[in-house]
Amino acid sequence: MKTFQTSILAGAIAVAAAAPLAFGHFRLLEPASWLQESQLGDPQKAAPCGGTSADPGKPTDKVTSVTGGEKLHIKIQETVYHPGFYRVALAVNSRDELPKDPDAKTEPGPNGPKSVSGAIQYPPVAPVLADGLFQHVSKFDKEQEADINIPNINCSKCTLQVIEFMASHGLNKDGDYTYHHCAVLQITANPAKPIDTHFPAEKK
């Protein structure tokens, strides 16, 4: 497994330095979020799946059905711009299976450390499904979409995690330099395809 600091985000420092420090926010539009989200996507700071220490959020009880070995459509809306990138990961039995937030390279700022760039896993290794998505150093002009390969497994209540890593960002109390959303998936394996052994079997 290899990780590297994203070079595109290093260039974001010069771009972002000219603007006041802002806090990035995003909404998970597809699949359905497990928490009720405001128009900004809040609450979303705390790992692994959003909420904050003051507001854990209200569950939506929504579950998205997916066929294993197929693609899942991901759609996000960045509601408050910040340079950065996105990552998608999957937990089968427990959210403890989700990876820690991306390692951040930081520099001193007037109010404490500020992120410069974050580590991207390439190629992605389970439980990470995709990393370095939607890299950007300027504001998006539309919603961002991608199709992600879902492992061929059986899972009645998997957790799909979508996170945003932000460069040129101050340290958050709850989420450091990362914001978090999750969705609940019910995955039914395609019997015509082999089971993906990179993910644990579901515990009954």
Q: How confident is the model at residue 87 (pLDDT cuts 50, 70, 90)?
A: very high
pLDDT above 60: residue 143 = yes
| Domain count for the chain | 1
Within a domain: residue 22? yes
Cα→Cα distances 44→25, 63, 95, Å: 8, 19, 16
Task: For the chain, give the mean pLDDT.
Answer: 90
Q: What is the CATH number of the domain that holds 111?
A: 2.70.50
Inside any domain, residue 172: yes
196 is a domain residue: no
Question: Does some domain include residue 101?
Answer: yes
Q: Is residue 203 part of a domain?
A: no
Q: Which structural domain, as residue segments, surrounds residue 86?
A: 3-188
Does residue 126 lie within any of the structural domains? Answer: yes
pTM of the model: 0.90
User: Can you give the pLDDT at residue 16?
Assistant: 40
- Residue 150 falls inside a structural domain: yes
Parallel, antiparallel, or unpaired for β 104-109 and 112-121? antiparallel
